[in-house]
Amino acid sequence: MQPTDSKRIPDPEMSQDEMKALQRQIADAACWQDTLSVNPEMIRWEPTETTKDTTQKTIDSSTSTTDIPNQDADETQPLVAGVDQAFRTEQSEVISAIVLTRGATVVDRIVAVTDLSIPYIPGLLSFREGGPILAAFEEISQKPDITMFDGSGRMHYRQAGLATHIGVVLDIPTIGVAKSLLCGTPESDTAQRPTGWQTQINADETVEDADTETVIGHALQTRQYDSRKIINPVYVSPGHRVSATTAVKITQALCDGYKLPEPTRRADAYADEIKREYSDN
């Protein structure tokens, strides 16, 4: 996959003011309504005995290998991509993993190993991680129907988190699933909630160009213990071409008893697997 909007590719050489200005342009270009090519009700996670992780495609500056694709996937199921990263801090490298699934069947796994250009700057994550993620997307041969990111979408100071930025650049439906709340105000207290509970997140004074009635996402309790309620919710926000309501419905449908939804959980595991392989070698 190649960007459809190359002028908005995150450039780590920009000044922070230029980065913020580009994020405002991204927010203006983003669509927070449902324009998916599939019925979101079809997107679900149904593990079977034939579920496999049998495919792998790995790229870096010197290596490119491809295994035989998994032929067991139900082609009627929407194609969902999960995106996450791992970091090799000693080498200043980032491992960007994408896992593609239909239902619960993994049909492809891609990873790009690239250099990190800038340090972490709160609110400007896409300029640190966006380029490496786009390098991995270049190796995808099938356009996903929905893509989930470990990070924010509209739930961002300038309404343009990682999921929104990459969604606009590639013009694909995206969802951000963050482990912590970057900004906004939950409509209800999020502490000690049961599995399946959710509440909307409204914009607050830290969110530019949005009034306090603007729904920028949801807190979703994806897992909880009955005896001791200590797991915090995840924070789901629309990235691009998905509404806040549909984003949280899809995220809940793709959970399988863990805190993280399966697409990003598997991408996280795959990125860590590649990191261990590099360490062993």
For residue 268, say whether it is annotated as part of any ligand binding site.
Answer: no
How far apart are the C-alpha atoms of 64 and 7, rounded to whole Å? 28
How far apart are the C-alpha atoms of 128 and 213, rounded to whole Å? 31
The residue among 169, 154, 123 whose CA lies nearest residue 242 is 154
Inter-residue contact 51 to 105 (CB < 8 Å):
yes
For residue 150, say whether it is annotated as part of any ligand binding site.
Answer: yes
Which helix (H) or strand (E) element contains residue 87? strand 79-88
Exposed/middle/buried for 264, CB within 10 Å: 0-12, 13-18, 19+?
buried
The pair of structure tokens assigned to 44 is 């679900």
Exposed/middle/buried for 272, CB within 10 Å: 0-12, 13-18, 19+?
middle
Inter-residue contact 125 to 161 (CB < 8 Å):
yes
End-to-end CA distance of the chain: 30
The residue among 184, 177, 211 whose CA lies nearest residue 200 is 184
Q: Which residues belong to the annotated binding site for Mg(2+)? A: 84, 150
Q: Which residues belong to the annotated binding site? A: 84, 150
